[in-house]
Structure 1
Amino acid sequence: MSIMLPLHDITNPKCAECDLLLKSKSRFRDLADLLPQIVFELDENLNFTFFNWNAIEITGYAYDEQSQTAHGIFNIIRESDREQVKHFFTSLQQDIASGQIECGIVTHDGREIPAIIYASPIIGEKCIAGIHGVIVDISEKIRLEKALELTNQKLNMMNSVTRHDVMNNITGVLGLCDMLAATTTDAHAKGLATEIRGQVLRIKEQILFTKDYQSVGVKAPQWQSLCHDIRHAASTIGGDTVQVKLPESDAEIYADSFFGRVFYNLIDNSHRHGGAVRNISVETEVIPNGNLVIRYRDDGTGIPLDEKQKIFEQGYGKNTGFGLFFIREVLGITGLTIRETGIPGSGVLFEITVPKAAWRVKESSLIDQ
């Protein structure tokens, strides 16, 4: 008597699975070798487990030198940057997050290449198995930035010379207006001289505005302390009768170098147009989408409903109207927006919205009021 049982060949599926894995690794390596950047993988001790052909081409190190070095990836990192990069990799492993960092790459012949490392942790079954990422050469980017900076310097110099000449001519015209008004007895001529003087003064204000406006966006944005900028603006304007309350915790804002002028202009506007302003406060709130909202309030007269949009237009309002227009332009460079949402008669409320990527909590950010 014989018994026939159905049997399943389990060898072929396993072989097929291994074959797929090998093909997947091969495709990854082929793709990595096509990329012009350095592609790498590190183990948990930050030693190389993989790097593409361009790592050899760019750094000049032979494969054995790279793979067997006791320093791991730090063999190609500029010595002054090594501690910072090590902290960066450690943070990625602890936070299980991706990130980027600028550093210098040192080639076999001693050349330094400015670069950005984009990296994220390799997540294993039970733990972080290492780091993988891409190193991008930013030499051309830096060269273009320097060329742009030099061009802007030349343009600003030309603008400064032209503006100086125009201001000299304006001073001359104002002097002639005063002489005409002082020497004529004709009432109509005196009136015309006064009108001409007023028009020339408006031109002068516009020329002075271009001095600041030409510098907006020229320098690269930078991280700036919110509370420091508010303090500096308040101390510059002065006024012992007005109390300025800072946020409970500080934040760093990624903005144009003129970011501090935003609060200077807001505080100045409260002094000039808010009536009997006694209190100014700045508060911050993180909203659900991760953006930061900065709220500037005063206890002045506020802004009428029909003027809430117009106040940001160039040339609108009392004086030249450049203050709030200038603020909006400065903030817009890094994607920040501003609006006025206060209740007329109850003071102004300016809300500045900072995108999630353009703000961060400042270390030791508890503020002494």
Structure 2
Amino acid sequence: RGLEAGADNFIIKPYEPQDIDTRIQNVIATRNSSVPGESGSAFEITLADGKHTITSNRRQILDILLSTYEIALRKNTELQEAHEQLNLLNEQLHKSVADLKLANRDLQAENAERLKVEKALADANKKLQLMASITRHDLHNQLTAMREYLELSVARRIKNPEAAWANVADALAVVNQTINTVEFTGEYQKIGVKSPVWHNAKILVDTSEKYTNTGAVRIENTLPDSLEIFADPLIMKVFSNLIDNAVRYGKTITTITFRYEESGEEGTIFCEDDGVGVADGEKEKIFAYEYGLNTGLGLFLAKEILSITGITIRETGIPGKGARFEIGCPHNAVRST
């Protein structure tokens, strides 16, 4: 349409004032110069929007084409610059995203560490409360009972020596309870002090057997050589206590068997014996602190040690046919190497 209207040149927005001035000067110079053969007759062309009659001469057409080419070059340069700027912005965006991901990972790690600290503080507070309870209540009661038995023995030593000695025996039993309590406080305060690590389960059982007096009782360790559990460094006390309890209270016991069963990503370690077993009414009590004051606090400690990494323990044997302890390991506390 510009050629149809007789245009000599064109320019597109936005433009600089000097560009307009330059174009006008070129048009004036072109019109003032007379070049033979530049004039021509009108002709028609057909485009998408219809027919157009072109009256411009060859010089005008050439100037229009050159202007178009110049603008195309300029726009191409601007497009390249915009593309380079876009690439730069894209790189900056990727860097910002990477920095954000790194910051997010750091934040997640910080939150995880904070949760670990909070759990450690909660566990420490729980231990302190229990230790305070033991010191304030249990030891006081035990010492009071001991004093009463000894006072009775002193009062009866002349008139009833036999009863006096019985009171001394009762006092001695209380002394043993007190010793168990003191030993427990020493063991309990160690739980959770060091970070959990991976342990080879088969080696734990073999080592525990070496340091436990099993007498004539036979140990069958069928745990896989590659089985590892993630637990507190005191984990060996768990297996030592299971073996010791079986030998001590199994009565008719001849064999203790350790085996492993896998269920999906979780697993269970079984400790079974052929002794007298555990009565139905005591299957949960044996893990209680109060119960352990009389029979030993090993199972209570075992439960506490295992719970550090989410491992559970329960007794599921049949009374009269033997005890069976099931150590349940969650997916993040058991592996095969």
> If the TM-score is normalised by the length of the shorter chain, which range does it land in?
0.5 to 0.7
* Residue in 2 that maps onto 1:267: 243
Structure 2, unmatched stretches of 5+, are: 1-45, 49-84
User: Structure 1 or 2: larger strand share?
Assistant: 1
The within-5 A match list for 1:307-326 is 307-316=282-291, 319-326=294-301
The residue type equivalent to 1:322 in the other structure is: L
TM-superposed deviation, 1:24: 7.3
TM-superposed deviation, 1:239: 2.9
1:30 aligns with 2:96: yes
The residue type equivalent to 1:206 in the other structure is: T
3-state SS, counterpart of residue 256 of structure 2: strand
1:257 aligns with 2:233: yes
CA distance change for structure 1 residues 326 and 248 in 2, over 3 Å: closer, same or farther? closer
3-state SS, counterpart of residue 252 of structure 1: strand
CA distance change for structure 1 residues 346 and 317 in 2, over 3 Å: closer, same or farther? farther
The residue type equivalent to 2:181 in the other structure is: Q
1:184 aligns with 2:135: no
TM-superposed deviation, 1:22: 9.1
Of 275, 300, 322, 1:300 maps to 275
**CA–CA separation in structure 1 for the residues paired with 2:187 and 2:87:** 61
The residue type equivalent to 1:203 in the other structure is: T
1:214 aligns with 2:280: no
TM-superposed deviation, 1:204: 2.0
The residue type equivalent to 1:283 in the other structure is: R
Deviations 1:31-61 (A, max 9, x none): 3234665x9xxxxxxxxxxxxxxxxxxxxxx
TM-superposed deviation, 1:264: 0.6
* Residue in 1 that maps onto 2:18: none
- Preserved CA contact (<8 Å) 1:222 1:256: yes
CA distance change for structure 1 residues 342 and 214 in 2, over 3 Å: closer, same or farther? same
The residue type equivalent to 1:264 in the other structure is: S
1:357 aligns with 2:324: no
3-state SS, counterpart of residue 269 of structure 1: helix
Structure 1, unmatched stretches of 5+, are: 5-18, 40-117, 119-133, 363-369
* Residue in 2 that maps onto 1:226: 201
- Preserved CA contact (<8 Å) 1:314 1:321: no
The residue type equivalent to 1:354 in the other structure is: C
Of 237, 256, 259, 1:283 maps to 259
- Preserved CA contact (<8 Å) 2:192 2:308: yes
TM-superposed deviation, 1:23: 7.7
Deviations 1:56-98 (A, max 9, x none): xxxxxxxxxxxxxxxxxxxxxxxxxxxxxxxxxxxxxxxxxxx
3-state SS, counterpart of residue 257 of structure 1: coil
Of 213, 232, 245, 1:238 maps to 213
Structure 1 residue runs of 4 or more that deviate by more than 2 Å after TM superposition: 19-29, 31-37, 134-138, 180-184, 186-201, 317-321
3-state SS, counterpart of residue 237 of structure 1: coil
Which structure is larger by alpha-carbon Rg, 1 or 2?
2
- Preserved CA contact (<8 Å) 2:191 2:232: yes
**CA–CA separation in structure 1 for the residues paired with 2:91 and 2:326:** 51
CA distance change for structure 1 residues 297 and 189 in 2, over 3 Å: closer, same or farther? closer
TM-superposed deviation, 1:25: 6.3
Deviations 1:279-316 (A, max 9, x none): 1111112202x011101110111111121111111131
3-state SS, counterpart of residue 290 of structure 2: coil
TM-score, normalization by structure 2: 0.56
3-state SS, counterpart of residue 266 of structure 1: helix
- Alignment: residue pair count: 229
TM-superposed deviation, 1:234: 1.1
User: Structure 1 or 2: larger helix share?
Assistant: 2
**CA–CA separation in structure 1 for the residues paired with 2:219 and 2:252:** 14
- Preserved CA contact (<8 Å) 2:150 2:167: no
CA distance change for structure 1 residues 287 and 21 in 2, over 3 Å: closer, same or farther? farther
3-state SS, counterpart of residue 249 of structure 1: coil
CA distance change for structure 1 residues 24 and 264 in 2, over 3 Å: closer, same or farther? farther
The within-5 A match list for 1:137-148 is none
TM-score, normalization by structure 1: 0.52
The residue type equivalent to 2:99 in the other structure is: D
TM-superposed deviation, 1:278: 0.9
The within-5 A match list for 1:99-110 is none
- Preserved CA contact (<8 Å) 1:265 1:323: yes
The residue type equivalent to 2:219 in the other structure is: V
- CA RMSD across the alignment: 4.3
* Residue in 2 that maps onto 1:59: none
3-state SS, counterpart of residue 245 of structure 1: strand
**CA–CA separation in structure 2 for the residues paired with 1:259 and 1:319:** 23
**CA–CA separation in structure 2 for the residues paired with 1:197 and 1:248:** 41
3-state SS, counterpart of residue 237 of structure 2: helix
